[in-house]
Every structure is written in C-alpha cells, then in structure tokens.
Amino acid sequence: MPNHLGSDELGQVFHALSDPTRRVIVERLVQRPASVKALAEPLAMSLPAVMQHLKVLEDAGVIATEKAGRVRSCRVEPTALRAAEHWLGEQRTRWERQLDQLDDYLKGR
C-alpha cells in the first residue's frame, strides 16, 4: 500500500498519536511552537516524563525540537501528519466505495 512514509514510519506516527498526552502536546504545538517548559506546565507529570513523550513524537517525525541556549523549543512537523492524513483519506475512500456498492446491491441496482 503506497504512502509518503514507509509502513514502519507511518506506524510510528500512529503509535506516537495513540497516547492522549502526546495528542494534547501536538494540539498545543499546532497552535504555535512552544518551549518544553511551557508544554510541561499544564501537564500533571514530571519534566522527564514530558521529555519522554516529546522523544516519541520527535522519533516519529511528528515534531522537531531545537535548542537555543538553555531553552529547547518544539514545533510540529506537518509532513508526518500529512502522511497519516493521506493514509486515512485513502481508507475512507475505500470504505465509502464499498458501502456504496453494498447500498446498490441491497437496492437491487
């Protein structure tokens, strides 16, 4: 099944997004880039735990981080998210086509 990322990379994206905390982080980063400290503040977990979540997101290509002085900033990398969106769109098209065929069959067309 063709996609922009290999199946392992696409699997990593879905794995990274499977965790609610990581989805919250991505939702915040979609609004604007943020420092690790700012991302960690509203979360009920330690800074090392937040860093582990960020590493999963970064390893999957969902976010990028960069360090300027003592501040590490994060931003969304849209390429991986677009690949996941593209894959889901292809699946939705297939499902809709099959449901349309079933509907035609059931209506005797």
Instruction: Decide: helix, strand or coil at residue 32.
Output: coil
Report whether 62 contacts 80 (CB < 8 A).
yes
Question: Domain coordinates of the chain in residue numbers?
Answer: 7-108
Distance separating alpha carbons of residues 65 and 55, to the nearest angstrom: 9
27 DSSP assignment: H
pTM: 0.80
Give me the CATH code for the 7-108 domain, please: 1.10.10.10
pLDDT in tens, 11-64: 999 999 999 999 999 999 999 999 999 999 999 999 999 999 999 999 999 999
